[in-house]
Structure 1
Amino acid sequence: MGNKNISMAVIRRLPKYYRYLADLLAKDIQRISSKELSEIIGFTASQIRQDLNNFGGFGQQGYGYNVEALHREIAKILGLDKKYKAILVGSGNLGQALTNYSGFKNAGFDIMAVFDANPRMIGLKIRDYEIMDSDLIESFVSENNVEIAILCIPKEGAQQVADRLVKSGIKGIWNFAPVDLDVPSSVIVESVNLTESLFTLSYLMKDGEEA
């Protein structure tokens, strides 16, 4: 599966499948057809079958999908059967909100430490985390085999911090800084630009009004 050229569009639909299947399991629904799934999710039945066929045959003709088995297999495809060590850099409002979100640990992402460069923040606590000096990032990442960094800092310092993270051995960066990071191809960056998302909403609302 890892060698197949699967489009990002398909990959970005997988978390939605995972979430809806979890909802079905919570309702004790054990079996579902692609047509029924399409009515819930909003994708066509054909699209669902094509997406899932990229990763193997999960359904049976005349039966549909076993909800629990499909949920488990998508978790494996997404890598959610693994545990990831993470750090968070930047303890401003967004950093604090993410630190306080309990869903990360439930999904296998363990935030081990929070860092900040602001001397006034160092030593303060967010939940059970004492904010650490960002000068200690490299040693902490190396000593604890941290794989993921969550970046919640202004764009001015984001590239410099990203360079340090890369040198320390970080494999993935979840980037909330409003800047495109330049990293080696061996490091995965997933950027979340809140302003761009809001602008997209603005366009869609404007387009809908004009229509």
Structure 2
Amino acid sequence: MRKNSKKVSMSVVRRLPKYYRFLTDLNERGFQKISSMELSKMMGLTASQIRQDLNSFGAYGQQGYGYRVQELKDVIHDLLGLDRPYRCVIIGAGNLGHAISHYEGFKNEGIWIRAMFDIDSEKVGQTHDGVPIFHMEYLDEYVKENMINIAILCVPRAIGQSVANEVVRTGIKGIMNFVPIDLTLPDDVMIEDVNISDSLYTLTYMLSHTQ
């Protein structure tokens, strides 16, 4: 089973991390094969949707056997770009920035938090879980010297856009945005918004409509 060169639609890409998470768990539990029907029961997707998603990048199951768990996991691992390392910085050394820097899952997949940046003189110069905190004025120099790929924004809403602009000027092309605003950035900069409030409000909606 090999991934092909066909471009995968973003709707499938959005589901790939979930596939990868479930397949990683199955692999760690010793499963060697899995059918689309079994996956559907675990993931809350239909079996036909799963087959369609996996077929879109050349991961075809075997009739009467299903998918080889390790092999499918490896294909999705590479498709997600996890076959290469990524170097990240966190902008904003507050509680959220500290929590993200402490997340072990990143290291397990070759995503390394190299430094944090802030303008608070009480935070600058400190080290959190081995991650140094520098002043924002050194961001451009640090990014270029350390070939940083990704910036994780954890700053207040009021300065979110201006800080994002500053990040873009360093040449970083990937931004994970925890600031609750819609950033306006060049087309060649890839943004992944993580809006905690939106997720929480969706949950409160579901709870309020099940009473």
Q: CA deviation at 1:4?
A: 3.0
Distance 1:157 1:127 in 2: 26
Is 1:172 paired with 2:174?
A: yes
Contact 2:89 2:116 in 1 (8 A): yes
* Matches for 1:28-107 after TM superposition, within 5 Å: 28-107=30-109
RMSD, aligned α-carbons? 1.3
Q: Which runs of 5+ in 2 are unaligned?
A: none
- How many residues end up aligned between the 2 structures? 208
What amino acid is the match of 1:196?
D
Q: CA deviation at 1:3?
A: 5.7
What amino acid is the match of 2:186?
P
Distance 1:56 1:159 in 2: 39
Q: Of 4, 24, 37, which residue of structure 1 is paired with 2:7?
A: 4
Distance 2:110 2:117 in 1: 20
Give the SS at the match of 1:105.
helix
Residues 145-184 of structure 1: CA distance to partner in whole angstroms, max 9, x if unpaired? 1110011000111111111111111010001011111111
* TM-score (structure 2 length as normaliser): 0.94
Q: CA deviation at 1:138?
A: 0.8
Name the residue aligned to 1:18.
Answer: 20
What amino acid is the match of 1:56?
G
Is 1:128 paired with 2:130?
A: yes
Distance 2:16 2:8 in 1: 15
Contact 2:113 2:131 in 1 (8 A): no
Contact 2:150 2:175 in 1 (8 A): yes
Q: Which runs of 5+ in 1 are unaligned?
A: none
Residues 13-63 of structure 1: CA distance to partner in whole angstroms, max 9, x if unpaired? 111111111111111110111111111212111010011111113311122
Distance 1:156 1:139 in 2: 25
Distance 2:69 2:60 in 1: 10
Q: CA deviation at 1:2?
A: 6.2
Residues 72-93 of structure 1: CA distance to partner in whole angstroms, max 9, x if unpaired? 0001111111110110111101
Name the residue aligned to 1:184.
Answer: 186
